[in-house]
Structure 1
Amino acid sequence: MKQLLMLLALVAPAFAQDAKPEFKSRPLFNGKDLTGWHGEGYVVEDGAIACTPQGRNLVTDDTFADYILDFEFKLTPGANNGIGIHYPGTGDSAYVGMEVQVLDSTDPKYKDLKPYQFHGSLYTLVPAKQGLLKPVGEWNKERIVVDGPNVRVEVNGEVALRANLDELNKQFPKHEGAKRRGGHLAFLGHGDRVLFRNLNITELPPGANSAGAAGAGFTRIFDGKTLTGWKTEKDGDESWVPINGILKHIGTAKNPSQLWTEKEYGDFTMVFDWRWNGTGPKMQRPIILPDGTEKKGADGKSETVEVQELDSGVYVRGNSKSQVNLWNWPVGSGEVYGYRTDGSQSAEVRAGVTPKEKADHVLGEWNRTLITVKGDRLTVIVNDKKVIDKAQLPGMPAKGKIALQHHGASIDFANIWIRDL
C-alpha cells in the first residue's frame, strides 16, 4: 500500500493540462415520447414532459455521476415536484438519493415551510436562495451541476445553491443519499401539474480524481475525444463512443466488439476510471470463497445471490484468459475468471486470482483501478484496495495488446493512462 500511495502522490490531474475543455451535451428527452425513462403518471404534451395527477417518480434508465443538467420548467399555482439526483432506483428518493426541490415558493400555502423545502433547495439538507423564479405560468431555466462532491443549482441564470457533499456527510451522517456519488436522475411528482422541456445533459469525466503523467512516466492512451490508438475487432462497430473525456460503451449499439490498443505492452501499470452507466437484468450469481471455489449449500449446490448482471473487463497482453474482470458479481472486480475457473491450475493460482474483497463502489459511481503486470504476476487495486496481490498467471504471453471488453453492459471509461515498467 505504501507503493500505491507514492504512485498516487506522483500523478497529477489529467485535465489540469487542458485549457478550457469543450464539453458536448446531448438530449435527455427526445420531445416526442418517454424513451429512456420509466415511471408512472407522466405524459408528453407539445414537446414537454407533464406531470399528471397520478405523477410520482419518473426515472432515467441510465445512471449519471458527474454532469451538467440543463432544463426548463413551468409551474402551476401551488405545484410541487422535485429533481432526484444520485437515486439508486428504489426507495424514497429524497433520502436514498437527494432531491432538488421544484416548488411554487410564492404560494401562500407554503409560507410556513422550512427553508430547505423551498425551490432549488436540497431537501432536508441545504436551503437555496429565493426570489429567482419567474411568475407562475412562465418558463424558467435551471441548471444542476454535479462535480464529484460539489453540487450547484442555478435558477434563471443566478446561483441559488452551492453544496459540498463531503461536508454534508459530516453534518448529516444518517443521510444515505449524501454519501452517494452517482445514480439515476428522476422527476419526483406529487400529482401537481408541472411541465419540463429542453432537457440536456453534459456528462463530465471524474476530473478531481484523474491520473496524469507529470513526473511519473505515464502516457495517456485515450485522448478523451477520439479512438486514436485503438481499434475495434469488427468493422462498423458503433458501440464505443468518445465524448467529453469519457469513452462510453453503448451496450445496445450496432455490431459491438472488443476495443484493442494498437500498441503491444509487456510489463506495465495501467490506471483508469470506470463506472456502470446503465442497469442490467437480475440474475443469480455464485458466492466465491477465498480459495476461488464456489460456496456450496447442504444440498451440494452452489449458493447464489441475486445481482444486476453487469460484466466487462480488461484483457492484458492480448489474451482473453488473462482478463481482469469488471463486474457486479459477489466476488467483486479484479478477478481473473479464466484462471480461477481453470481446474488444471494449482490451488495457489486459483486462490491468487480471487479478490480479497469486493472493493467496487455502488452502481453508477466512478471506480479507480490500477492493473500492474510484471513477468507472469498480476496486481490489481480497486478504489485504493489491493484485491489481487502478485497473482501468478502461468502461460500468459510476455507481450500483447490491451482490450476493453464488450459483454453487453453499458459502461464508461475515463482517464486511461499507462506506464511501461
Structure 2
Amino acid sequence: MTDQLRPDDSVPAAPELFTWEFAADPYPAYAWLREHAPVRRTRLPSGVEAWLVTRYADARQALADQRLSKNPAHHDEPEHAKGKTGIPGERKAELMTHLLNIDPPDHTRLRRLVSKAFTPRRVAEFADRVQELTDQLIDRFAERGSADLIHEFAFPLPIYAICDLLGVPREDQDDFRDWAGMMIRHGGGPRGGVARSVKKMRGYLAELIHRKREALPAEPAPGEDLISGLIRASDHGEHLTENEAAAMAFILLFAGFETTVNLIGNGTYALLTHPEQRHRLQEALARGDDELLATGVEELLRYDGPVELATWRFATEPLTIGGQEIAPGDPVLVVLAAADRDPERFEDPDTLDLGRRDNQHLGYGHGIHYCLGAPLARLEGQTALATLLTRLPDLRLAAGPDELRWRGGLIMRGLRTLPVEFTPPAQ
C-alpha cells in the first residue's frame, strides 16, 4: 500500500506500509515513522484514511485522551469505508455495544459489571485449569517430536480457557473454536465468512443467555461463570440488555483469545530466535525462579506483542497530537508496536532482554480501555511458555524465519503457523 508524503529531498523515501514484507518485520518502517512522521495520515488497505501515532509519549497521551471516542458513530464514514472500522459482521449481528465501541458512562457501567471475572483472585483460581489444558494439549503431540504450535497449542489453549470462564458447555466449545478460527483469519480471508461466523456466534450466545437465565438459581454459586454473572447484573437493576450481554460475551471471547494466541506464538518464536535468552529462562525455571518468567513475558509483550495497533478511536473535537492537528471525526490508530520500540522511552529497544525492569509497555493499552483480560492472558502466557520450555527443553524451529508467514490483519500481529521439532520425552 503506497502512502505518499510531500516530497522532501532531505528525508529518506517513506517505507511502504501494509505489504506482506512489512507484515514480516514492520519495525524498520515504524522506526522511520517515529523519526520523520510520528503522527501521519495514512490510507489503509481498506481505503479508510486514519492517523497513525507511533511515538511512545504521543501514544500514551492518545490512549488516555477522552476526546478520542471509541464509538464509530463519531466517524462520518464515506461510502467506501462503511463497516471497515471494526470487527466484520458485528454491526449486522447487533454486537456493537461492547467495551471496545463505547465511551463513559456506558463504558464505566459495563466494565464494572465484567471486571469481577478478571480480578487477580479469580484469575489465580483459574490457574489449575489453565495448567491442565496446557498439559493436555502438549500430550497430544509430545510423542510425535514435531508440531505446529499455533494450530495445536497457542490457538486451542485460550479459546478453551475463555469458554470455560464464560460458561460455554464443553460439548459446544469445538463450535466456538471453529467460529473463532474463521474470525482470526479475517485479515487475509473473506470478510463474508467472518460475518457468517459472527452471526452464528451471536445466535448461539443469545440462546445460551436465555437458557442460563431460565436455569439460574436464586443465589450465586461459588466460581459462577461470567455469562451467569452478566445475567444477574441485568436482573438486579443494572440495565444490562440482552444485546449488551451477548455483545459483552462476544468481545470477551474475541479479544480474550486472539491476543493470547499471538502472545504465545510470538513469544515462543522470539525465544527460539534468541537462544541466549531462551536458555537464560530455562535455567531460571530449573532453579524454581519464576521472577524471570514474569518479567520475561512483559518483555515479550513489549518486544513483539500480540496487538500491533490499538483499536479504532475517533476525534470528537479538534485536538493536537505530537504537534499534528486532528479534525473532528478523523480516525486515529495508536501503533503500540512502534511506541514500544521507541528509543526515547526504552533503552536498546530492539534488544530482547527478559530481565528488563523499567518496562511500562503499552502492549495491553493504557487508560480506561486498558485490557480487562490482561491478568488472564499473562497467566496463560506464563503457563504456556514455562511448560513448553520445561517439557520440551530442546524445542527448535522446523522452518527458517523467511519461510514463516504472518497474518495480514490491521490490529493484531501473529504468525499463521509455527512449525517446531523436539526430542520426544522418554517413556
TM over 0.5: no
Q: TM-score range by the shorter chain?
A: under 0.3
Higher relative contact order (CA 8 A, sep 6+): 2
More strand per residue? 1
More helix per residue? 2
TM-score, structure 2 normalization: 0.26
